[in-house]
Amino acid sequence: MKILLSLVMLVGALFASIDINNADAKSLANLKGVGAKKAEAIVAYRNTNGCFSKLEDLANVKGIGSKTIEKNKADLVLGECKK
């Protein structure tokens, strides 16, 4: 039973939505088409400009375009800004 529960938790973590307003660079780097540098750029943009108000605002980050947003739309959420 413990093994089954562990597997369920692991699968859930792999397919969990990523909150673009609060996720760290390591989490953001797991998105399709987003590596470590783009993930750091997202965090830097958010720290400078404040939280995102809509998913499409990610396109304001250098290196992130509408295709990247579209590929990841199902995995992205806009959480409440914790700043």
Mean per-residue pLDDT over the chain, rounded: 88
Is residue 31 a part of any domain in this protein?
A: yes
Look up the domain containing 24 and give its range: 18-77
- E-strand stretches of the chain: 18-19, 76-77
Contact yes or no for 42/76 (Cβ under 8 A): no
pLDDT at 2: 62
User: From the CA atom positions of the chain, what is the Rg in Å?
Assistant: 14
CATH of residue 24's domain is 1.10.150.280
Give Cβ neighbours of residue 22 (< 8 Å, ≥ 6 apart).
79, 81, 82
Rounded to two decimals, what is the model's pTM? Answer: 0.79
Residue 41, in any domain of the structure: yes
Q: Which among 25, 36, 17 has a CA at the least distance from the CA of 79? A: 17
Read off the pLDDT of residues 64-75 as tens digits, 9 standing for 90 and up.
999 999 999 999
Report the number of distinct structural domains present in the chain: 1
pLDDT (tens digit per residue) in 25-43: 999 999 999 999 999 999 9
**Among residues of the chain, what percentage have pLDDT more than 90?**
77
Q: Confirm whether 3 is domain-assigned.
A: no
Q: According to the model, what pLDDT value does residue 11 have?
A: 46
Q: How many CB atoms lie within 10 A of CB 59?
A: 13
